[in-house]
Amino acid sequence: MNKNRFSYPAGAAPISMEKMSTETYRHALTTAFKSWHSLAVGAVLLALNVYLTVQGNLFITSGQTLQGWAINVIAGYAFIAAIYLGASPLSENHTLTETFPGVFDHFRTFIVGGIFYALGTALVNNPVTKLQTNDQMVPGALALIIGGALILLAVLIGVAAAFVRPRK
């Protein structure tokens, strides 16, 4: 009984699943290391995001709410730009010179994503999520779920922007 249900062209040998996964792995690593410039700039933007998020939260807790929210939206912009730079080597924009202008071309989209990021981090860092008493369990869980969903939406905005054709 023939185990292979598929016929292969004459002279072609079937490709094993192990070889396919190895080739996919090599392709992913090759793509990542070819675009190390974009990944390095994305890493710097993620570091800027962490710094700005901490500073924005300090502003909010010290009573300077408007400045804190503005800083958190800018931190969200940096976060989405880092995700965009990390995902764009998988799209048609391979080099940093092709990709980096997109950080500014998608300004309005990234600002909206930055607002979602700021709201999401505010909900995740909400004191209710510390679950100090049993009465705070349901509001804390809802804050974590909604905050996580908003941060995920910000990530999706960055990834989706990476696959939009750049303006010429």
Distances (CA, A) of 94 to 84, 86, 104, 107: 12, 10, 17, 20
Torsion of CA 103, 108, 109, 115, to 10 degrees: 110
Q: Where are the domains of the chain?
A: 36-162
* Three-class secondary structure of residue 132 per DSSP: coil
pLDDT single digits (tens) 97-106:
777 888 888 8
**pTM, full prediction:** 0.75
pLDDT single digits (tens) 32-68:
677 788 888 889 999 999 999 999 999 988 888 899 9
How buried is 160 (Cβ within 10 angstroms: 0-12 exposed, 13-18 middle, 19+ buried)? middle
Contacts of 61 (CB under 8 A, 6+ apart): 68
Q: Does residue 155 surpass a pLDDT of 90? A: yes
